[in-house]
């Protein structure tokens, strides 16, 4: 989230209308409901975790134990179980 000067991005008539309600204060204008991105979409971490989890499931199907995967990926045994047994 970045700050923008209202007089640089809003039309004069809209700025005057907003000043009737809020003058000299910071206001937050949220994005429209459908335009919000899910967690991790901007940074790409969401996709990285999907790829990691696919690899974990693949190695498990190939015979790796949960303890081995836990050690290899530095995750708890419970976390590996959640990834492996997820439908």
- Host H or E run for residue 46: helix 45-61
As given in the structure block, the two tokens for residue 43 are 């940074």
Residue 59: inside a domain, yes or no?
A: yes
Q: Is residue 34 part of a domain?
A: no
Domain limits for position 71: 6-29+41-84
Say if 77 falls within a structural domain. Answer: yes
Quick: pLDDT tens for 1-18: 678 888 899 999 999 999
Domains held by the chain: number: 1
Residue 74 lies in a domain: yes
Kindly state whether residue 35 falls inside one of the protein's structural domains. no
The total number of residues written for the chain in this structure: 87
* For residue 87, pLDDT beyond 80: no
pLDDT tens column, 35-62: 777 888 788 899 999 999 999 999 999 9
């Amino acid at each position: 989230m970045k700050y923008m000067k209202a007089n640089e991005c809003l039309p004069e008539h809209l700025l005057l209308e907003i000043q009737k309600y809020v003058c000299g204060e910071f206001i937050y204008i949220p994005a429209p409901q459908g335009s919000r991105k899910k967690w991790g979409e901007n940074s790409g971490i969401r996709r990285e975790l999907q790829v990691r989890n696919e690899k974990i499931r693949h190695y498990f199907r190939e015979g790796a134990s949960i303890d081995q995967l836990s050690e290899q990926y530095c995750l708890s045994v419970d976390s590996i179980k959640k990834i492996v047994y997820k439908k």
